[in-house]
């Protein structure tokens, strides 16, 4: 019988006190993610300034922040299943610190190409880091603590998002974008230091021979991973959940344009550029607030029950879709912000519940490849939706109409997940990885 004990804030506090490795990983997540979200505000506002407000400039930037994951994911999965995940995370952090520092030299219209190149490179190293971070959680936690750690990581991501975006616009407006770039570079260095102090065993490395460079051209581990996923339709369906969530990847364009052009925040002597950055920061902060609330309530209600986690994903799709349909109809910043809270409360439930189900049901030797594949499918849908949103807005379609259409489209993956529940009913009498 599946346990369904409630997860409370005291549960998270207990995990942080008792587990030094997870505590270090958690602090690393806080410093690097807050810095990264501050930096995203500065980058998007800079692109809109340099291109005269073209939505497609933000859409293309977002594509370069996510699409490389699709290209790198197969190699990232193999690396995370053959090498020390801790060392890979350290290398990825240090590389990103260098890349972000180079953004200091990409401040002119003629250097927009350099911004895009650096965004691409930063994403390549993020694609190495994130599957490793997800894959090590079951190595540094045990039993029920896997779900607790996942929930806390998701809540922390949401908190970091809300705080980073909320203060990023203010810091950029007061101290300039360069200050934001420096802060982000330093955050990656501190994250690398924290990860380097973690001490835990990595069984996947101990069982395998040393990796050679030519192994990167060997696609048999990828094929083996595909066979592993295809053998369990329930695992495949769970792996594709975030692909459905990726269809509201358009929000990166939508919220940026809404904040800059429809809901700018004029405080004191703030000019149009500063007001736009502040408006974007506030709306993105509401997005982060929703993402913070979702896992807190969701994990409390779901407990450790896999069936509740699955049904929670369906509710998440409904909240996300309804939230964006409402966002497109709102004419005031407050109601627009509340719509974003609802939408991303649902989105964060989808995120943490699907990640937890994958961690519970995937063998350690395949976990890196499964999470890399999950990110690859998600980034493909996110890239497509954000590029289309930018294109539609630049062709004269109202940003509110695009937002409502994106919300309505979210009902499709929700329906697909509902239909997939029959897989658990059909195989309940012959569980393989239930």
In a domain, 19, yes or no: yes
* CATH assignment at residue 35: 1.20.1250.20
Q: What are the pLDDT digits (tens) for 314-365? A: 999 999 999 999 999 988 889 999 999 999 999 989 988 888 888 788 887 7
> Angle between the 272-302 and 145-175 helix axes, to the nearest 10 degrees?
170
Q: Dihedral (C-alpha) 349, 170, 333, 55: value to the nearest 10 degrees?
A: -80
**Is the residue at 390 inside a domain?**
yes
265 token code pair: 């925040």
CA dist 373 to 56, 96, 227, Å? 27, 22, 13
Reported as a single tens digit per residue, the pLDDT across 114-151 is 989 998 998 888 888 888 888 888 889 888 888 788 87
* Rounded CA separation 252/347 (Å): 14
| Structural domain containing residue 348 | 9-204+218-426
Q: What are phi and psi of 400, to 5 degrees?
A: -65, -40
In a domain, 180, yes or no: yes
pTM of full prediction above 0.85: no
- Answer yes or no: are the C-beta atoms of 162 and 98 closer than 8 Å: no
Q: How many helices (H) and strands (E) does the chain have?
A: 19, 0
Q: 132 lies in a domain? A: yes
Largest pairwise CA distance in the chain: 67
Q: Does some domain include residue 334?
A: yes
**Does residue 204 register a pLDDT over 90?**
no
| 4 assigned to some structural domain | no
- The verdict on residue 213 lying in a domain is no
**Band of pLDDT at residue 432, cut at 50, 70 and 90:** very low
Distance, CA of 403 to CA of 325 (rounded, Å): 6
The total number of structural domains in the chain stands at 1
Q: Quick: pLDDT tens for 354-412.
A: 888 887 888 877 777 787 778 778 878 888 898 898 889 989 899 999 999 999 999 89
Give the separation between CA 198 and CA 13, rounded to whole angstroms: 19
In this structure, is residue 172 part of a structural domain?
Answer: yes
Cα 233 to Cα 237: distance, rounded to the nearest angstrom: 6
């Amino acid at each position: 019988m599946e346990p369904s004990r409630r997860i409370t804030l005291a549960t998270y506090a207990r995990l942080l006190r008792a587990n030094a490795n997870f505590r270090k990983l958690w602090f690393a997540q806080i410093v690097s993610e807050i810095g990264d979200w501050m930096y995203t505000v500065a980058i998007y506002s800079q692109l809109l300034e340099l291109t005269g407000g073209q939505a497609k400039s933000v859409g293309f930037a977002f594509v370069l922040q996510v699409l490389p994951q699709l290209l790198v994911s197969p190699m990232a999965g193999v690396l995370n299943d053959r090498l020390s995940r801790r060392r890979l995370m350290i290398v990825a952090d240090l590389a990103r610190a260098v890349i972000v520092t180079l953004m200091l030299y990409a401040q002119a219209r003629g250097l927009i190409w350099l911004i895009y190149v650096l965004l691409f490179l930063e994403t390549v190293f993020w694609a190495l880091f994130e599957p490793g971070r997800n894959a090590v959680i079951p190595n540094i936690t045990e039993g029920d603590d896997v779900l607790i750690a996942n929930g806390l990581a998701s809540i922390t991501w949401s908190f970091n998002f809300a705080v980073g975006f909320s203060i990023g616009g203010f810091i950029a407006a007061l101290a300039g974008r360069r200050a934001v770039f420096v802060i982000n570079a330093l955050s990656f260095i501190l994250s690398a230091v924290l990860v380097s102090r973690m001490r835990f065993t990595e069984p996947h490395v101990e069982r395998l021979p040393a990796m050679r460079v030519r192994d990167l051209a060997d696609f048999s581990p990828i094929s083996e991973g595909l066979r592993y996923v295809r053998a369990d339709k329930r695992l495949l369906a769970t792996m594709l959940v975030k692909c459905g969530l990726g269809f509201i990847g358009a929000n990166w364009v939508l919220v940026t344009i809404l904040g800059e052009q429809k809901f700018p925040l004029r405080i004191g002597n703030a000019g149009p550029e500063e007001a736009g950055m502040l408006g974007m920061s506030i709306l993105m902060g509401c997005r982060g607030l929703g993402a913070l609330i979702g896992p807190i309530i969701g994990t409390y209600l779901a407990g450790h029950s896999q069936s509740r986690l699955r049904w929670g994903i369906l509710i998440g799709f409904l909240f996300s879709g309804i939230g964006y349909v409402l966002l497109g109809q709102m004419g005031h910043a407050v109601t627009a912000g509340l719509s974003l809270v609802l939408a991303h409360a649902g989105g964060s439930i989808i995120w943490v519940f699907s990640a937890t189900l994958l961690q519970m049901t995937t063998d350690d030797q395949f976990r890196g490849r499964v999470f890399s594949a999950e990110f690859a499918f998600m980034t493909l849908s996110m890239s497509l939706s954000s590029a289309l949103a930018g294109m539609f807005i630049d062709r004269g379609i109202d940003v509110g109409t695009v937002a409502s259409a994106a919300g309505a489209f979210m009902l499709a993956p929700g329906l697909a997940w509902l239909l997939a529940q029959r897989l658990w009913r059909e195989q309940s009498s012959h569980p393989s990885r239930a």
